[in-house]
Amino acid sequence: MVNLEAKLGPLKLKNPVLAASGTFAFGEEYSSLLELEKLGALVVKGLTIKPRQGNPAPRIVETPAGMLNAIGLQNPGLEVFLSRELPRLKYYQVAVIVNIAGDTEEDYVTLARELSGVEGILALELNLSCPNVKKGGILFGTSVQTIDRLVRKVRQACNLPLIVKLSPNVTDIAELARAAENSGADILSLVNTLRGMVIDVTARRPFLGNITGGLSGPAIRPVAVRMVYEVCRAVNIPVIGMGGIVSVKDALQFFMAGARAVAVGTANFIDPYTIPRLISGLHAYLESENLSSMEEIIGAAQIV
């Protein structure tokens, strides 16, 4: 019998396919199309203490094999999330991971403290790598010292499993991964978007209102697979891999690089049925290979 259950340190998920933060909102938009409880987990869009309107339009532009987004962490804020969004998610009985972001270290600590112990939240994901806000985000995700200090502070304020999401816009992602592990992260997720830009040649100006945005989709997959491979060699905690996953073969690359779960983002906009298709596809793959669980292929491509 095939078992798709995923074990990521303190987390136990029914399957290893998650909806990535920022691409599934709070699940409501997809609830009429698929059964949310069948997701491995839903990582909600980045949450801040106060509501945010986000960046000026236009905020999304298609690129070859991907897209640029500069949403700017638009979200309803902590109070509305707890009073409106989380109760709705409890109704759907989906595993919920909350992605948190802030302008200051104190913002992260406050969010972690307020969300700890709240029924219906499985874990927290620290958004240290969003390239679309002028304060916070990328500033926290590119320095070993800053990651070490911030993760330690959040760890002290939080009794939930702690996922640290890493940016690919760095020189040595393995070094940053080790810093996150040493300062208290239970799990790492990578990669977030690569910073990019599109110019409107007719208007002779940057297309996005924010000028730059985060590149996602199949175009970044080889970069993401390489970084997951490197990080899995550098740390002893579980890794969630993401970046351009559209097909079962795409997902398998991340598992064979060492990831214990994957998260799907941009593909949800192309085909909202991508995640259930991947879940059934992974099940079929294991059956065809006479394998009983994902454990048998995790890290298979790692060269000793």
What is the tens place of the pLDDT at every residue in 197-236?
999 999 999 999 999 999 999 999 999 999 999 999 999 9
Active site residue 130: yes
Task: Count CB neighbours of 288 within 10 A.
Answer: 8
- Active-site residue, from 130, 190, 261, 282: 130
Distances (CA, A) of 193 to 218, 223, 304: 11, 11, 29
Q: What pLDDT does 44 receive?
A: 98
Q: Do residues 90 and 34 lie in contact, with contact meaning Cβ atoms separated by under 8 Å?
A: no
pLDDT > 70? residue 132: no
Mean per-residue pLDDT for 187-191?
97
Of 139, 75, 131, the residue nearest 104 (C-alpha): 139
pLDDT > 60? residue 131: no
Between helix 173-182 and helix 144-157 the angle, nearest 10°, is 30
Upstream peptide bond of 58 is cis (omega within 30 degrees of 0): yes
pLDDT > 60? residue 137: no
Q: What is the mean pLDDT of the chain?
A: 94
Domains and CATH numbers, the chain: 6-296 (3.20.20.70)
Task: Give me the percent of the chain exceeding a pLDDT of 70.
Answer: 96
Of 148, 134, 133, 81, the residue nearest 111 (C-alpha): 81
Q: What pLDDT does 130 receive?
A: 53
Q: Global pTM? A: 0.96
What is the tens place of the pLDDT at every residue in 61-104?
999 999 999 999 999 999 999 999 999 999 999 999 999 999 88
- DSSP-derived letter for residue 228 is H
pLDDT > 50? residue 136: no
